[in-house]
Amino acid sequence: MTAAPRKRKSRRALMLLVVLAVAAAAGYVVKLRYYTTPAITMMTATVERGSVEETVLATGQLRPVKLVAVGAQASGRITSLDVTLGDRVKVGDLIAEIDSVTQENNLKTAEASLASIHAQRAEKEASLTLARQTLDRQQTMVSQNAVARADLDSAEATVKTTEAQIAALDAEIQSAEVAVATAKANIGYTRITAPIDGTVLAVVSQAGQTVNASQSAPTIVVLGELDTMTVRAEISEADVVRVAPGQMVYFTIIGDPEHRYDAALESIDPAPESIRSDTAITSSSSSSSSSSSSSSAIYYYGNFNVPNPDGRLRTYMTAEVNIVLGGAENVLTVPAAALGGRDAEGKYLVKVLNADGSTTERRVEIGLNDKVTAEVKSGLAEGDQVVTGEMTAAQRSASSSSLRLGRGGGGPPPGM
């Protein structure tokens, strides 16, 4: 055999060996990736002592304990406005004045009418005196048969008629006095004064503006008592069954989440705000309309007051409210993630890691649970290692890569 055919056979054998090696390597990779059970690493936590507080979360709104829209009961042009936004006022302080010419004229008319009725009554009193004197003479003359009986009857009728007229005038006097008092009150309404101690939160009407109080009372300013604020917290229907007046609450505001305000829940509204539009009590609603309560969340307002001496809390701020259902300190705790299913007795299954790496399931009695940490009443001892989850090598590698990217984009450490 010549040298050339031998060389070709050697190349073919070599290529075959290379193909077989590549195929074997590919098969090995496929086996490792798809047919090998990945190694499992258990995530654990130590049972230790700590504090647990179970709360109901609610979103609330801050409002002044007293909030009053100061309106006008008299119609007319505002001649003066004596307060500005942010002013503090006391009860009785002048807020604004309305042109009182019409009201003063009405008072003069009412007083003139009262004086006229008094004059008519005085006239009738004089007539009654004369009628009674005439009656006395007629009675004397009839006893002496000096006049006819008809003259005596006429004199008696005149007395009774005059007395009735005086009684009618007395009633008219009372009505006229009421008209005078009303006119004086209407003049008083042209001077709008503060009904409470508070701060001017809004100025709705300005000097020179004409207000019409015939149909509704137009608002001039809004006053609020800011020394004490009321928090109205929306409590979901799922949580309201677990809360009650007297429970401790605390809240923070968005602008200062580190400052905690403590108080006590004072009341819970018996019905949600949506009852105002209930078709069963709204006569103007059509019979075809239906309630939307089935498709929207239902909230009940929990109410409590908090002192505000420095004015840091402002009107309509949002409050993140925590209603405390219970708390425990220096108790055994375990992460809520370690809790498994719950049995008929109310105990939870928890996996405990043994010294040899195996796990044992235990039935554990749990007390307070804030969904992050749970109180252990029985079934575990301090120092036990409980399983909170499982992670494969691939997941662990992905987590480590994500952590490196989050810290510095995956680049080399400084100094390399």
For every residue of 231-245, which 3-state class applies, written as one string?
EEEEEECCCHHHCCC
State the Cα–Cα distance between residues 378 and 306, nearest whole angstrom. Answer: 39
Radius of gyration of the chain (CA): 46
- Helices and strands (H, E) in the chain, number of each type: 4, 18
- pLDDT in single tens digits along all 416 residues of the chain: 555 555 666 667 667 776 677 777 776 666 656 555 555 577 889 999 999 988 999 999 999 999 999 999 888 999 999 999 999 999 999 999 999 999 999 999 999 999 999 999 999 899 888 888 888 887 888 777 766 778 778 888 988 998 899 999 999 999 999 999 999 999 999 999 999 999 999 999 999 998 888 877 889 999 999 999 999 999 999 999 999 999 999 999 999 999 999 999 999 999 998 888 777 665 544 444 444 445 578 999 999 999 999 999 999 999 999 999 988 899 999 998 989 888 888 899 999 988 888 889 999 999 988 888 999 999 999 999 999 887 655 555 555 555 455 545 444 444 43
56 and 208 in contact (C-beta within 8 Å)? no
364 and 380 in contact (C-beta within 8 Å)? yes
**E-strand stretches of 100-216:** 191-193, 198-203, 210-211
Q: What is the DSSP letter of 342?
A: B
Structure-block tokens of residue 290: 């239906």
For residue 18, how far is the Cα from the chain centroid? Answer: 78
State the Cα–Cα distance between residues 229 and 69, nearest whole angstrom. Answer: 17
**b vs e for 128-142, b when ≥16 Cβ sit within 10 Å of the residue's Cβ?**
beebeebbeebeeeb
Find the angle CA(121)-CA(123)-CA(128) to the nearest 5 degrees.
Answer: 90
272 and 236 in contact (C-beta within 8 Å)? no
Closest CA to 265 of 305, 313, 304, 312: 304
277 and 337 in contact (C-beta within 8 Å)? no
Find the angle CA(56)-CA(59)-CA(62) to the nearest 5 degrees.
Answer: 125
For residue 72, how far is the Cα from the chain centroid? Answer: 28
Identify the pLDDT of residue 142: 73
State the Cα–Cα distance between residues 237 and 59, nearest whole angstrom. Answer: 14
Closest CA to 74 of 194, 223, 212, 178: 212
Q: What is the DSSP letter of 63?
A: E
List, in sequence order, every residue forming a beta bridge with 353; answer none if it has no partner: 359
Report if pTM > 0.75. no
